[in-house]
Amino acid sequence: MHPLLFVFVAAAGASVLGPAGMGASVREGQPCLAPQEWEGRWVQYDHSTGRNQRAIVSYDGLNQRIRVLQNHKKHTPCQKYFEYIYLYQSMVMFQIDQKTKDCSKIALTEAWDPFDIPDNSTFEDQYIIGGPGDNVEAQEWSDRKPARQHETWVGVYTLKDCYPVQETYTRNSSVTTSTRFFNLQLGISDPNVFTPPSTCQSARPERMAEWAC
């Protein structure tokens, strides 16, 4: 599981889920092993602000790094668009303005947390996303424990190849971040996306504001 900006399940506009509680078809067992390297897209929804962030993502679990390129949206003229490079082995994050190439270098304060299902996760359900003839079977896991009433993480992963579908983190009763993943492809087509541009050699230490007005 992963705490970035970011994160994934029960988001507005989430995929339509098939009937839960499918009786004998529900198979509780060990969590599957998620892919270590993939590229694709995600939509992250922050429940506290009501904003969706759409981005192209490259995920390298082997080297503990993530690159996020925000998608431009014409209907939000005040928003700035950034590229984010998270390097967890160095515990730094680079924020690059896509237009000006200005760069900020920020120290990461949370340890690497991969997009996967931890071994100690609790099985919640197995169901079909979609409908007859156009569906994907998925399992839902959480960090719910008997001593804690509510889970703080829920992850939905495909049953066949263990691709992430959706993750949700709850920081407290009012702050929840959800992420939906789609169009995933195995591997990293261009490893150079994890290399900060030359403008980051003189990076500022402050994070840049994401809105201009």
Return the CATH number at 196: 2.50.20.30
Contact indicator for 11, 168 with CB cutoff of 8 Å: yes
Please check whether residue 1 lies inside any domain of the structure: no
Domain membership of residue 143 as a residue range: 37-202
Copy the structure tokens of residue 141: 């896991």
Q: For residue 17, tell me if it sits in a domain.
A: no
Residue 134 lies in a domain: yes
Within a domain: residue 81?
Answer: yes
The number of folded domains in the chain is 1
Question: How far apart, in Å, are the Cα atoms of 122 and each of 7, 49, 51, 113, 179?
Answer: 18, 29, 29, 17, 20
The answer to whether position 3 is within a domain reads no
Domain for residue 144, yes or no?
Answer: yes
Q: Mean pLDDT over residues 89-116, rounded?
A: 96
Kindly state the helix (H) or strand (E) to which residue 57 belongs, with its residue range. Answer: strand 51-60
Closest CA to 176 of 138, 211, 210, 150: 150
Task: Report the amino acid identity of residue 29.
Answer: G
8, part of any domain:
no
Q: Is the pLDDT of residue 207 over 70?
A: yes
Task: Tell me, yes or no, if the pTM score tops 0.85.
Answer: no
pLDDT attached to residue 23: 38
b/e per residue 78-113 (b: at least 16 CB within 10 A): ebbbbbbbbbbeeebbbbbeeeeebbbbbeeeeebb
For residue 161, being part of any structural domain is answered with: yes
Least confident of 16-30, 70-84, 195-209: 16-30
